[in-house]
Structure 1
Amino acid sequence: MTITFKDLTLREGSQVPGLEITDDVGKRVLEGLARVDVGRVEVSFPRAAPREELYRHAESLGLRTAALARAVPADVDAALDVEPDEIEVIVNSSDVQLEHALGKTREESLDLLRENVERAVEGGVAAGATLMDAVRADNDHLRAEARVVRDAGGRHVTLADTTGAGDPEAVRETVAAVTDEVGGELAVTIHTHDDMGVATANAVAGVEAGADSVDATVGGVGERAGNAPLEEVAVLGSEHGDDVALELTELVPACREILDALDVDYEGKPVLGREGYRHESGLHTAAMLREPSTYEPFDPERYGAQRELLFGRGTGRGGVRALLDAAGLEATDEQVAIGREALRDAAAERGEPLSREAAAEVVAEAVES
């Protein structure tokens, strides 16, 4: 299967308390997204922040733009004013949100959805709808909403796990309910949040259940615990054999650049954090000198990252022996002991472990002297 994306870093990022995204920063984000060839970006909620300069910059980079609008005429009109390629009309779908967030019945919400998707379509742009809190919504109501979007001229429907309350099984059930109803007539997108720490797994589960696309943000940037991270979904899908519609060799460096522009730390994050590619354990490095996949879930170079094998105090005999073997030197027990002591001394002198190249040089020099 093929996984395609719509990136929401700018729009979701604008909802993060304390995260300010100026036009200059936004342009750098868009340039990074173009670098990985993400294709589609949701730029803003124009009723609150038009950001017209960013729409035009995205277009200049060859990115397809989307604007967000509630199922309210003034929102749709504000979105039309920034001339996006498509408009995403959002509506509450679960009973708890219909009652307490929207204050409408199911039937009234269907009327709002129909009127505003039609308004966007009549405005001359492609339109779709995000069904909020879909995983907690009644599946019959979701199917009714999907039919309304289709009949109003919409092209896609997005199923949002707005509160991050779902798990992969629930997401599969929700996606299947809608794809069984309108699959082949509307494209289906899955939109997940990470409140329970399973946004990535939920997004991939949605694709496995028939979703055509994934909403994601770089580094998982987004309100509360964030969204499905673009880079995690891409790597997980790719490693599971899916065709991922991104420039994967640019994935890590481009995402790091985007988060640098946003001043968001990523060192502790999967895929992006450098510590994920650094290995110092004697057991690990010895094996990885022979076969890197022994302790790696994927080849980092495939995604534009680099592994670091580090040597020093924790390096055991196996690691030194592997270094000597790689250098074409005889690895007797005596030479291994000499090399190991030299590594420890060098690391202590520098105050940090050595790279593979530096370690090989230290060991070779020690045993040859």
Structure 2
Amino acid sequence: MKVYSDYDDLPKIKLPHNQEVFISDSTIRDGSQMPGIVMKPSHKLQIYEYLHEIGIEKLETFVFNERDRKAVYEMFDRGYEKPEITGWARSSEKDIDMVLDVDGIEETGLLMSVSDSHIFDKMGLPSREAAEEKYLNAIQYAVDHGLRTRVHIEDMTRADNYNFVYPMIEKILEIDPETTVRVCDTLGYGVPFPDVDEPYGLPSMINHLKNELGAINIETHIHDDFGLSLANSLAGYWYGANWSSLTFLGVGERAGNAEMEKLLLFLSQRVEGFEKYNLEPIADIANFIEKELDIRIPKNKAVVGKNIFAHESGIHSSGVIKNPFTYEPFKPETVGREREILVGESSGVGVLRHKVQEVLNELMDVNTEIDKNDPRLKKIQSEIQSLYDNEQRQSCISDEEIRSYVQKYFLYEPLVKNKPSKKEYYKENDENRGY
């Protein structure tokens, strides 16, 4: 019989292709396009530091203006091997020259929009053939000038892949066999189901690129308009992709991108072979982005929300106090967090006892055990419940309030209660003197 009573008991799944996989960050590039965000060079540099701490392999960045280039040069000054700093360009010689002008960048992304909406409406090109010619000329120019390439196949989940995109990618691979083919689900239309073909099926696309076209490097870049970005990014790995492009907190255009912190957590906790990433900085990164870029993080947001290790209800809190594995799927320290046991409307005596013991031990600097039937606990619980009953309290009881209750009932009250009255005092003294 299998027994799952601890984190180490749970098995990890295996990627069926057993390929080594990597992560490319786009927080600095795609994330900076999020409406309302102003990403200063200092912000980019700090994000770069966090990515280095985690062990992310690559990041991509714009180099179009002096602010972009200033951030890049400051990153290079750090002298880190990871993440590699890569450029990004539209498929034009002018953009590619901007990348070439930045000493140290050896790889660039190349934007190649492939849906008819982008080719005709956005770019105003006369035909698909004109688009193909433009893209092939761009990658040839980049390769001729010594750059490694990453072709950003934009809006592939709304394109005519078999008649246009796949034949073009064959020609791209002839120019640069080791290019990274980035499958871009630009509007989140993709689905992770294996039996869905074009234009939506991510598994079908990855299979075709890998098995039919022989692409060596395949990357997913998924937007979250339909909430499937993480599922599609994982499906990419599952069907043979070796890269995924992600952003922290999913920042980016419209609904954003696949969230790096979620994918990192899933890989490290649920899949074999991902001890290479250090997830401890995740809480610090989330706090930094929330404060510096003014992005509100919901308290219940997976991985980074402030409530994901906070427990209030009696049943949940009691279970976690006895064994955190009961209601916590991974340890708080994994992502740089700490567990919180909160006292609120739904908390029972067991939770209150735990909090009171914590405070009492801290105040008295000794380890104490309070009986769960201690009448003082009942008094504190009664006072707390009256706050919710009579004062329509809307929040949990703070640690400072718990401290006040402990002082009142466990420290001060016994002193007052045991002090003798004048009559008792004189009677006791008379007896001592033999009267």
Which category describes the TM-score, using the shorter chain as reference length?
0.7 to 0.9
Matches within 5 A, 1:182-331: 182-183=213-214, 185-244=215-274, 245-268=276-299, 269-320=301-352, 329=369, 331=371
The amino acid that maps onto 1:97 is H
Evaluate the alpha carbon distance shift between residue 80 and residue 181 of structure 1 in structure 2; reply closer, same or farther with a 3 A threshold: farther
Deviates more, 1:141-150 or 1:194-203: 141-150
Give the distance between the partners of 1:273 and 1:330, measured in 2 at CA. Answer: 32
- Pairwise CA RMSD of aligned residues? 3.3
Partner of 1:131: 153
Question: Identity percentage over the alignment?
Answer: 26
Q: 2:397 aligns with which of 324, 345, 353?
A: 353
Give the distance between the partners of 1:163 and 1:217, measured in 2 at CA. Answer: 16
3-state DSSP class of the match of 1:215?
A: strand
| 8 Å CA contact retained: 2:342, 2:396 | no
Are 1:339 and 2:377 matched, yes or no? yes
Partner of 1:112: 134
3-state DSSP class of the match of 2:24?
A: strand
Matches within 5 A, 1:70-219: 70-83=90-103, 84-102=105-123, 103-140=125-162, 141-153=164-176, 154-169=178-193, 170-183=201-214, 185-219=215-249
CA shift, 1:50, in A, is 6.8
Listed one character per residue, the Cα deviations across residues 180-213 of structure 1 (whole Å, up to 9, x for unaligned) are 2345x52111001111122112111111111111
Deviates more, 1:136-145 or 1:52-61: 136-145
Query: Over alpha carbons, which structure has the higher Rg?
Result: 2
Q: Give me the TM-score of the superposition, normalised by structure 2.
A: 0.74
Aligned residues: 365
The amino acid that maps onto 1:75 is D
Partner of 2:362: none
Evaluate the alpha carbon distance shift between residue 158 and residue 352 of structure 1 in structure 2; reply closer, same or farther with a 3 A threshold: same
| 8 Å CA contact retained: 1:134, 1:174 | no
| 8 Å CA contact retained: 2:349, 2:381 | no
Evaluate the alpha carbon distance shift between residue 252 and residue 176 of structure 1 in structure 2; reply closer, same or farther with a 3 A threshold: farther
3-state DSSP class of the match of 2:181?
A: strand
3-state DSSP class of the match of 2:133?
A: helix
CA shift, 1:158, in A, is 0.5
Are 1:5 and 2:23 matched, yes or no? yes
CA shift, 1:179, in A, is 1.7
Listed one character per residue, the Cα deviations across residues 9-33 of structure 1 (whole Å, up to 9, x for unaligned) are 1111331222112222222222222
Listed one character per residue, the Cα deviations across residues 225-246 of structure 1 (whole Å, up to 9, x for unaligned) are 1111110111123232244453
Give the distance between the partners of 1:32 and 1:301, measured in 2 at CA. Answer: 17
Matches within 5 A, 1:13-52: 13-44=31-62, 46-47=63-64, 51-52=68-69
- 5+ residue gaps, structure 1: none
Q: Give me the TM-score of the superposition, normalised by structure 1.
A: 0.86
Partner of 2:77: 60
Deviates more, 1:278-287 or 1:256-265: 256-265
Evaluate the alpha carbon distance shift between residue 155 and residue 181 of structure 1 in structure 2; reply closer, same or farther with a 3 A threshold: same
| 8 Å CA contact retained: 1:28, 1:258 | no
The amino acid that maps onto 1:136 is R
Evaluate the alpha carbon distance shift between residue 26 and residue 38 of structure 1 in structure 2; reply closer, same or farther with a 3 A threshold: same
| 8 Å CA contact retained: 2:140, 2:175 | yes
| 8 Å CA contact retained: 2:309, 2:338 | yes
